[in-house]
Amino acid sequence: MTSDVTLPPDGGRVEPVGLEVEMQRSFLDYAMSVIVSRALPDVRDGLKPVHRRVLYAMYDGGYRPDRGYSKCSRVVGDVMGQYHPHGDSAIYDTLVRLAQPWSMRLPLVDGQGNFGSPGNDPPAAMRYCLAGSTLVATDGGSVAIDAIVPGAAENSDNDIDLKVVGVNGEWVRATTMFHSGCHPTYEMSTSDGRTLTGTGNHPVLTLVGDATSIKLQWVLLEELRAGDVVPVVTGGAPVKAVSPSRGAVNAGRDLSSAVDPTIYGYVKVTAVQPAGVQPVYSLRVDSDDHAFVAGGFINHNTECRLTNVAIEMLRDIDQETVDFTPNYDGRSQEPLVLPSRFPNLLVNGAAGIAVGMATNIPPHNLVEVGSAVQWALEHPDATEEELLEECVQRIQGPDFPTGALIVGRDGIDQALRTGRGSVRMRAVIEVEEDSRGRQQLVITELPYQVNPDALAEKIADLVRDGKIQGIADIKDDTSRRTGQRLVIVLKRDAIAKVVLNNLYKHTQLQDSFGVNMLSLVDGVPRTLNIGQMISYYVEHQIEIIVRRTRFRLRKAQERAHILLALLKAQDRIDEVIALIRSSESAEAARAGLIELLEIDEVQATAILDMQLRRLAALERQKLQDEYDELMAEITDYEDILAKPGRQRTIIGEELGEIVEKFGNERRSRIVAFEGDMSLEDLIAQEDVVVTITRGGYAKRTKSDLYRAQKRGGKGVMGAQLKLDDIVEQFFVTSTHNWILFFTNKGRVYRAKAHELPETNRAARGQHVANLLAFQPDEKIASVMDIKDYSVAPYLVLATKRGLVKKTKLSDFDSNRQGGVIAINLREDDELIAARLVAPDDDLLLISRKAQSIRFHADDDMLRPMGRATSGVIGMRFGEGDELLSMEVVKDDEVDILIATDGGYAKRTKVGEYPVQGRGGKGVVTAKIVAKRGGLVGALTVRVDEEIFAITSGGGVIRTRVKEVRRAGRQTMGVRLINLPGEQTVVAVARNAEADEEEDGDET
């Protein structure tokens, strides 16, 4: 190679190199530059260089949470000018993401103005600049923007107090007028004769879209073209910056139908042309959207400052806790890493694509990560395996800022243990019913990084192409008030579960987050498990505390060194003053002090730097107190440096304060993976009233459709029943509860409450034959709702002939469609009631002829039996009598409420019912009078509860228990409901979840 060296004319040296060799070397240099200096976060603070530079520039520039907001353009300028010599758009994009609560679990920048949305709405430009002649609408009339502060200096910020017209036509306060210097400008002309002149990066609200999607979007002035359409203020009507694309997404919708012409005025752009270099200006407006009207157009920009939690990233940085390096031009210094007093890498996550590698670290919950760090601090001798296991126990998994569901733990466990894995995410969806009775899927939380606008458009495309059936409409009802709310309206014949599973298959309603926990460790990219990440973070924090303590120790020692000299000077103050006054020069005075006080040059210089009157005025006791305090601090600092245990304790205490201040509940709920989503996963848990008629019709109705009434009211209209049908079962339950159907033949079937048809009060519902596989001549005898089969140890069954049987509740947990045997019935007997019971409860049996018996339900009185048994005698009856009901008594604080078919009722203290042995005839429970009817219902109630009473015509009354008079066992009761015609009361039921509503009548 040396023989081929040629010397250029200027005396330089050229060395020929093979192209392949140079490409390899240059590519490796480029790759390492991207890996180390651009794309990958540092394991210690979780930041890439650009993020670190933005945060440090904001901290150093004073853009802190205890101060006002500053224009994003100023922040970007500081970052670009001092630390990051790249394009301002890349810096602004970084700044915007740090402020987005849907991107960051704990945002590090507090943004004011339009910072975009999870959808297609981009953030506003970081600055707007208007020509000086632009008229601003103020409360004092239209004023040229350059006349607001006459003679303002170039590149200056000027405080003002002015009211201007905001984006919604309201008055908003402008607090600052910016003179932004002289810049090239453009002039836009519109079809109505208006003009707007500003810098090329001035954003203009513009109507953009096509036949399937339109929206209002900020477009830079230099990018506008003739024919574009922009909104303007018309006759004082407010102009609102909304995105019609976030409303209905229907194929073929005409553009003009998506906006309200009474609110919006739209004009066409006729020309955009250069207008030369001239001074430009802007305003700061105190409003959420930070926009105002000038020249008839909407003007907008963004402002920012650090968040409080971002200050914790930078805390103690001025105490030599981290190393600094010269910036790109050598004029200032920038930190190589931030102190990061909380584990930002795990809390906020990171994503980046380098050369040949990429990182994708999900956000996690600060409370959980903090718990793992605390364990690591308390167990410094733990092995890597022990630390990993403890971290996995404490950190449940990712916690995304958008919430949503994480489905399955396998992917989480793999990611935490190996640093790589795939986490499946699903949207949070509820099934609701619209005003027209159609089912709709309501999406309230989306998987992380899923664009709701793109999702809606994708669903519309799938419907249009016929790939998904059953969808009637898609609406985006998202707003600041309601949050995320994407509504998918289903056709009447659609099956929600089928539609949903198709949506999961074809859209991002179900998505995966590919975890790759790659970060820089000592400048080298490494994939780490969760334990290693915690370990490296703890090491970093120990270094921070050690360096901070050394800094404080040195400062304390330096101050104590000076104080010692001052104390010596105070002891000989007259001699010191005389020496200083008599000295011919400072050097002579310094030498004299060193000899007189036996101090060093630094101490002597400190004394000489003080004015004599200040030196003489010093109080020795204050100096001594300060010196003693410093010596105690020095001892403490030395102790910290000597004891690693204290260092870890300090880290734990300071981290605990941060977690206490900024930690919050998980947003992403982790659920088990069970294949395709079941319909129950979509059903909102809410109280419903279940109604079952003698003819076998069942339904569920929202409980709030029944209003509370006073005793004696006429009730509200219930089910419209056939003449030969009446309501027999009526109770309140939750949509997710099991409904157990016990039949007269002694069998039990089950279904979820949400599987019953939801109807209004007047509807009959659906016949149970469409839900349950009943045998011939089988009718519903009793219905029970349970959350699961662990809610009680036993189930007690009672028959018409007075037999009772106690069986383990878990014995009835069966998926058999044909039901299971609950009790073996004897001839001419039927099942009457089924109740949950514990061994320390009592059972109360009440007959139709108003006899009752109370006995213990423990194993001595009522031993447990299998399902296929008949039971034992619980109550004996007189001639023509039979069992009406069975109730469970848990304490003496309840009453027994008795109702007759004539509409009368009373309640009696349960203490008036004596405990007896099983198998007797019992005692009288009510005085029966023929005109008031026989007993139709008996149940235990509390005074703060409500009851429902149902008539043979389907009418319902909802009454508070306290409205029913308390009376003795042998009394008749008072009027409960006025019965029209020949109707009778057929059942009463308890509403255990009654809310507090005002009394009122409704017919």
pLDDT tier, 236 (very low <50, low <70, confident <90, very high otherwise): very low
Specify the pLDDT at position 349: 95
| C-alpha to C-alpha distance for 540 and 93, rounded to whole angstroms | 29
What is the pLDDT averaged over residues 981-995? Answer: 71
The residues pairing with 424 across neighbouring beta strands, listed in sequence order, are: 407, 512
Within-domain flag for 389:
no
Residue scoring higher pLDDT (619 or 954)? 619
Do 196 and 172 lie in one domain? The reply is yes
Do 308 and 295 lie in one domain? The reply is no
* 33 has a pLDDT exceeding 70: no
Expressed as residue numbers, the domain containing 611 is 550-653
- CATH number reported for the structural domain that contains residue 238 in this entry: 2.170.16.10
Task: Please spell the DSSP secondary structure of 152-198, one letter per residue.
Answer: PPTTEEEEEEEEEEBTTS-EEEEEEEEEEEEEEEEEEEETTS-EEEE
Q: If you average pLDDT over every residue of the chain, what do you get?
A: 85
Name the packing angle between helices 530-571 and 366-378 (round to 10°).
Answer: 70
Within-domain flag for 913:
yes
* 263 has a pLDDT exceeding 60: no
Do 878 and 908 lie in one domain? The reply is yes
Within-domain flag for 792:
yes
What is the pLDDT averaged over residues 697-713? Answer: 65
Separation of CA 600 from chain center: 62
pLDDT tier, 235 (very low <50, low <70, confident <90, very high otherwise): low
- CATH number reported for the structural domain that contains residue 319 in this entry: 3.90.199.10
* 6 has a pLDDT exceeding 60: no
> Is residue 31 classed exposed, middle or buried when 0-12, 13-18 and 19+ CB atoms within 10 A define those classes?
middle
pLDDT tens digit sequence for 818-838 = 788 999 998 889 999 999 999
Q: What are phi and psi of 846, to 5 degrees?
A: -125, 130
Specify the pLDDT at position 466: 86
Q: List C-alpha distances in Å: 122 to 82, 97, 117, 363.
A: 27, 11, 7, 23
Within-domain flag for 217:
yes
| C-alpha to C-alpha distance for 79 and 571, rounded to whole angstroms | 53
Q: Which two tokens stand for residue 756?
A: 């019953």
What is the pLDDT averaged over residues 468-497? Answer: 86
Within-domain flag for 386:
no
Q: What are phi and psi of 502, to 5 degrees?
A: -65, -40
* 131 has a pLDDT exceeding 60: yes
* 993 has a pLDDT exceeding 50: no
Specify the pLDDT at position 930: 75
Lowest mean pLDDT across 59-63, 143-147, 178-182, 312-316: 178-182
What is the pLDDT averaged over residues 499-521? Answer: 92
Specify the pLDDT at position 292: 82
pLDDT tens digit sequence for 599-618 = 999 999 999 988 877 777 77
Q: What whole-number percentage of the chain has pLDDT above 90?
A: 49
pLDDT tier, 31 (very low <50, low <70, confident <90, very high otherwise): low
> Is residue 982 classed exposed, middle or buried when 0-12, 13-18 and 19+ CB atoms within 10 A define those classes?
exposed
With contact defined as beta carbons under 8 Å apart, do 689 and 702 qualify?
yes
Do 142 and 107 lie in one domain? The reply is no
The candidate with the shortest Cα–Cα distance to 749, out of 722, 783, 724, 715, is: 783
pLDDT tier, 427 (very low <50, low <70, confident <90, very high otherwise): very high
Residue scoring higher pLDDT (171 or 369)? 369
* 325 has a pLDDT exceeding 90: yes
HSE, side-chain direction, 13 A CA sphere, residue 960: 13
Specify the pLDDT at position 723: 44
Do 174 and 115 lie in one domain? The reply is no
End position of a domain, from candidates 236, 271, 301: 301
Q: Which two tokens stand for residue 288?
A: 């959420």
With contact defined as beta carbons under 8 Å apart, do 671 and 406 qualify?
yes
Report, in angstroms and rounded to the nearest whole number, the Rg of the chain calculated over CA atoms.
40
Residue scoring higher pLDDT (21 or 164)? 164
Specify the pLDDT at position 85: 83
Do 841 and 761 lie in one domain? The reply is yes
Within-domain flag for 350:
no
Within-domain flag for 665:
no
Which segments of 376-509 are extended strands (E)? 405-407, 420-426, 428-433, 439-445, 471-476, 486-490
Do 761 and 884 lie in one domain? The reply is yes
pLDDT tens digit sequence for 906-957 = 999 999 999 999 999 999 998 887 778 888 889 889 888 888 888 887 777 7
Which entry of 83, 128, 537, 794 is annotated as an active-site residue? 128
Do 829 and 961 lie in one domain? The reply is yes
Total structural domains in the chain?
6
Specify the pLDDT at position 734: 86
* 391 has a pLDDT exceeding 50: yes
Do 24 and 73 lie in one domain? The reply is no
3-state secondary structure of 969: coil
* 535 has a pLDDT exceeding 90: yes
Q: Which residues contact 887 (CB under 8 A, 6 or more apart)?
A: 835, 843, 844, 846, 896, 938, 939, 940
Q: What are phi and psi of 929, to 5 degrees?
A: -120, 130
Question: Any idea of the CA torsion for 985, 991, 992, 995, to the nearest 10 degrees?
Answer: -150
| 789 catalytic residue (yes or no) | no
3-state secondary structure of 744: coil
SS3 annotation, 615-680: HHHCCHHHHHHHHHHHHHHHHHHHHHHHCHHHHHHHHHHHHHHHHHHHCCCCCCEEECCCCCCCHH
Do 798 and 934 lie in one domain? The reply is yes
HSE, side-chain direction, 13 A CA sphere, residue 835: 23
Amino acid at 672: A
Do 171 and 260 lie in one domain? The reply is yes
Specify the pLDDT at position 724: 44
Within-domain flag for 369:
no
* 434 has a pLDDT exceeding 90: no
| C-alpha to C-alpha distance for 425 and 406, rounded to whole angstroms | 5
pLDDT tens digit sequence for 536-590 = 999 999 999 999 999 999 999 999 999 999 999 988 989 999 999 999 999 999 9
What is the pLDDT averaged over residues 314-320? Answer: 96
Q: Which two tokens stand for residue 90?
A: 């890349």
| C-alpha to C-alpha distance for 526 and 529, rounded to whole angstroms | 10
Do 903 and 987 lie in one domain? The reply is yes
Residue scoring higher pLDDT (383 or 20)? 383
With contact defined as beta carbons under 8 Å apart, do 849 and 928 qualify?
yes
Lowest mean pLDDT across 140-144, 167-171, 779-783, 839-843: 167-171
Strand 956-960 and strand 708-709: the pairing is parallel
- CATH number reported for the structural domain that contains residue 944 in this entry: 2.120.10.90
